[in-house]
A and B are shown apart, each in its own frame.
Chain A
Amino acid sequence: MTRRPTALAAGALALLPLAALASDSSDPIVIPIHNWSSQIVMSNVVGQILEGMGNTVEYVTTDSQAVYESIRLGDVTLELEVWEGAFGASFRAAMEKGGIVDVGDHDAITREDWWYPMWTKDACPGLPSWEALNDCAALFATPETGDKGRYLDGPVDWLKHGKERVEALDMDFEVINAGSAAALWAEIGAAEADKTPVVVFNWTPNFAEAVWPGEFVEFPEWVDGCDKDPALGPNPEMLYDCGNPADGYLKKAAWEGMADKWPGAYAVLEKISFTNPQIAEMARLVDIDELEPDEAAEEWLAANEDIWTAWTE
């Protein structure tokens, strides 16, 4: 089978020490694409780096939960964004079943917690303290929740324990689960029209920060074991009486056969590490500047050459 190298690959090829990586298989490395911008651009960035090293890369769109089964089977080679909060449980379950390996963390830290867009603060000036939020609970009431405020939590499969926290901290809120990230954005988007106060689940790094400026609610600080030992946290009798850790991991994962089949690419994957500003920049190129993901990746690679060339040496 003949493969024509793309112009970009040919250009980048000249920069790289090819000989050291000659042992990589010529089969395509399959990179999964999910439905949020930073992940799509990051996948393209890494794909183009690997192509530049002479590998062939293919992208495949998949569900972000079902992808772990495909990695275990070797159908998908790697995953660049394993969020501690959203996918930690799926990742751990897949690790237990075998076939997938942990390739280390990005520098970026992730935070996932209760969040509000700035206009909410006008109505409830005591924010971001959670006690102030609780005092304003009535502001967030809807027909369905009666007197209680409404907190829109992430999808159930993200295991956010919103309900448990409301009970543990005795808050006047009712927790409703959105079914998808898109559903969360729709709620914020609808509230934006007449600046209705809302409090929803959100995370960083994320495109929403650029579209809707906002802040996380400050809960009692996370202490290790808050989810296992009731004694920790302000409520001595219950679990989950703390905020989420403000520094969750963002991991890379790979099929266990990758290291043998594409040793060169695997070595690079181990070194790859993005920071929060870099991830936000990638998302911005697509979400705000409206570039296509592959163009955004080219642009990012061109602007950050010193960063990624260090990984390929």
Chain B
Amino acid sequence: MAVLSTNAAPVAPRGQTALALVALAVALTLLHYAGLLPAWLTRVPEALVPPFAPWLDAAFTFIRTDLGLEKLTRWIAEGPLQFALDTTANLLYGKRRWPNLGPIPWSAIAGSAAVLGYALGGWRLALLAGGTFVWTALIGQWKIAMETMSVLVVAAPLAFVIGLGLGIAAWANDRVDRAIKPILSILQTLPFFTYLLPAVIFFKVGPTAGAVATIVYAVPPMILMTTLGLKKVSPAVIEAGQMSGCTRWQMLRHVYIPAARTEILVGVNQVIMLCLAMVVLTAFIGMPGLGAKLLAMMGSFKIGRSFEIGITIVLLAVTLDRLSKAWVVRVPEHHPRGTPWWRRNKYLLIGLGVFVGFTLLGQAVDWFSEIGRRQSWSRGKEIDAAIKAFLALGPVQSVTDQIRYVFNVWILIPFRDFLLSIPTPAFILLFAAAALALADQRVAIWAAVFFGIVALTGWWDRAVITLYSVISAVILASLIGLPIAVWASFTDRRANRILLACDTAQTFPSFVYLIPAIMLFGITATSVVMSILIFAMVPLVRYTVEGLRDVPPEMIEAAEMSGATRMQKLWKVQLPMALPTMAIGFNQAIMFAFFMVIIAAFIGTQDLGQELQRTLAGADLGKNLVLGICVSLMALSFNMVLTTWADRKKAALGL
């Protein structure tokens, strides 16, 4: 690849500096092994650790009370937000609030969803949309699913509007863009356990806090995609708009936004997926419905029913996602002049008809308005029995015992002990060297500063253990995920199947597979790594498949014409071209892993997540923030290195 080699020349000086840093780090480590390194150089001495926790506690109190932020957020939460949530709650599950109309019968919702599915994508979508709601009702989860939906139908549109607004602001004004980016990165990397307490303090435990946490989590991709889409609008389209004398508002409304439609709707998809991915975690701060039920079921070891709830969440996610995707690709229908109104809006009318019909039917026949738990088809006990029987099989046990032994004793624990044995300064030097080699000097300095702060907080050992779980899981995820992704990228059929599996893995509540992981591998590092691995593999596979399939066909044809074999084509053309996209996937995988490693505290870890769990009672808010910032800083360092590297590669490839 001639294109790539031109890049090599400027790398050399950076490479040499990086090598020097590595040499220094190795020297420090060897000195430490020889017992010659003074203690203050292996770890930051306790006496030097600044009292970050009380400082942050004071800062938090200042913002909360002295600046009056709490008053403002409380007003929002208890006023308009509560009102919106109460309204949807009444309509969907009959909470006793204005307008006192609900609950809407399940059959009416299922019927209208099927009509909507048909209008957008034919029979298959009709079946998916209608089927999802029928499943939910028949399995006996209608009420709890609607409790969840009552929050999501408020949170998702709000996330969309806020994301769109901020995205437009960031696109229109460079300064806003520069201010928003770091805030978004921090929001995305702060661990969930750090959001939890501020959410209940500022927004009141209950659906309000649940909605806010969901919005905060779902908004960043919406902002990023909106800005990206608006930046890509072609100059020809803009000129056409200007020539027809559009005002600024008209330009935005009728030119830019329609032209950026595809990216904006990808943002909408992400909003939906992330909203559903948060259903279980937000149950810790008062989100009602599926998540809360799932936690209760897990607490009394009912895997079968938890599993069914997981399926409902995935079905809802896939349905909403496919509906919104169908909306993107739908070509606007143009009716000949003089088509009567009812014919233009026939699906709307049919939908309304179905809705009214089933609502009336629900009044007459109870079954159409409500299906209780007792009438449901839930097979929780049978699934429990099946899972237990599977785990009791001899071969399963001997295989998992082997894996557990090899992984824990030969790989994970030695790797962890090795990372812990590296003196702090050497560790920081090593990371800076890697940053320098992959990205540039600026990033390397920032990464060193970030890790330096982590060292200064006095939580270094736990931070390293966190990092070790993340690194182990991402390496394993790459080893397993990349071959799958390459295999999947060969045909459309395979790609679609694997992408569906990715959607499932992303929205299926991780709590449900944490339990089987523990049953298979015990409460050990293996379980922790396995559960992170499943989650981290999702973006890795998704972006690799998309990167490989986006390689321009001309390039592949050119390779075929010059007589490349299939393997050569893959290694010499497709993979190098897809590398920048894959790097984004890799970056996302690391971010997902940092997210999940904290949740893995529920299995039992010895890392920052475990300490964070200890601070949840609220007496140690300062410590909670310190720990959260440690996780965030480490994640941000990886993020900076990988995005800079991907951008450089992209520029070099002329993409």
> Does B associate with A?
yes
B286 and A62 within 8 A (CB):
yes
Interface mask (B600-613 → A, CB under 8 Å = 1, otherwise 0): 11111110001001
Any B CB within 8 A of the CB of A209? no
A60 and B196 within 8 A (CB):
no
With A66-B200, A97-B619 known to touch, is A157 a contact of B613 (CB < 8 Å)?
Answer: yes
Complex Cα gap A74–B299 (Å): 27
B613 and A179 within 8 A (CB):
yes
With A1-B98, A94-B617 known to touch, is A63 a contact of B196 (CB < 8 Å)?
Answer: yes
A60 and B518 within 8 A (CB):
no
B interface majority secondary structure:
helix
Residues of B within 8 A of A (CB): 96-98, 100, 196-197, 200-201, 204-206, 283-288, 291-292, 295-296, 298-301, 373, 380-381, 388, 391-392, 397, 401, 404-405, 408-409, 413, 511, 514-516, 518-520, 522-524, 600-606, 610, 613-614, 616-619
A141 to chain B, nearest CB (A): 12
Residue in A closest to B401 when the chains form the complex, CB atoms: A143
Residue in A closest to B390 when the chains form the complex, CB atoms: A193
Interface with B: A17-25, A35-43, A240-248, A305-313, which one?
Answer: A35-43
Interface residues of A in 32-91 (CB under 8 A from B): 32-37, 40, 60-63, 65-70, 72-73, 75-76, 87, 89-90
**Which residues of A sit under 8 angstroms from B514, Cβ to Cβ?**
182-183
A286 and B300 within 8 A (CB):
yes
Complex Cα gap A292–B375 (Å): 13
5 new A-B contacts, CB < 8 A, other than A180-B602, A180-B603, A182-B511, are A62-B285, A68-B617, A93-B617, A182-B515, A186-B516
A180 to chain B, nearest CB (A): 4
With A60-B288, A61-B286 known to touch, is A66 a contact of B618 (CB < 8 Å)?
Answer: yes
Residues of A within 8 A of B (CB-CB), count: 66
Residue in A closest to B396 when the chains form the complex, CB atoms: A193
**Which residues of B sit under 8 angstroms from A67, Cβ to Cβ?**
205
A70 and B200 within 8 A (CB):
yes
Residue in B closest to A70 when the chains form the complex, CB atoms: B205
B618 and A189 within 8 A (CB):
no
Ranked nearest first, the 3 interchain pairs of A and B with the lowest CB-CB distance are A69-B618, A90-B617, A193-B392
**Which residues of B sit under 8 angstroms from A30, Cβ to Cβ?**
206
Complex partner residue of A186 from B96, B284, B515, CB under 8 angstroms = B515
Residue in A closest to B200 when the chains form the complex, CB atoms: A70
Complex partner residue of B96 from A4, A61, A183, A292, CB under 8 angstroms = A4
Residues of A within 8 A of B (CB): 1-4, 30, 32-37, 40, 60-63, 65-70, 72-73, 75-76, 87, 89-90, 93-94, 96-97, 142-144, 152, 155-157, 176-183, 185-187, 189-190, 192-194, 207-208, 211, 283, 286-287, 290, 292-293, 295
B439 to chain A, nearest CB (A): 35
Complex Cα gap A32–B200 (Å): 13
**Which residues of B sit under 8 angstroms from A176, Cβ to Cβ?**
523, 604
A60 and B301 within 8 A (CB):
no
9 A-B pairs with CB atoms under 8 Å apart are A68-B617, A156-B610, A181-B299, A182-B301, A183-B604, A190-B391, A190-B518, A207-B300, A283-B300
A76 and B404 within 8 A (CB):
no
B522 and A189 within 8 A (CB):
no
B70 to chain A, nearest CB (A): 9
With A176-B523, A177-B610 known to touch, is A187 a contact of B617 (CB < 8 Å)?
Answer: no
Complex Cα gap A179–B301 (Å): 15
Complex Cα gap A142–B196 (Å): 35
**Which residues of A sit under 8 angstroms from B373, Cβ to Cβ?**
292, 295
B96 and A179 within 8 A (CB):
no
Residue in B closest to A36 when the chains form the complex, CB atoms: B299
**Which residues of B sit under 8 angstroms from A68, Cβ to Cβ?**
617-618
With A61-B288, A185-B301, A186-B518 known to touch, is A66 a contact of B604 (CB < 8 Å)?
Answer: no
Residue in A closest to B378 when the chains form the complex, CB atoms: A290
Complex Cα gap A89–B615 (Å): 11
Complex Cα gap A185–B511 (Å): 13
Complex Cα gap A156–B601 (Å): 10
A182 and B299 within 8 A (CB):
yes
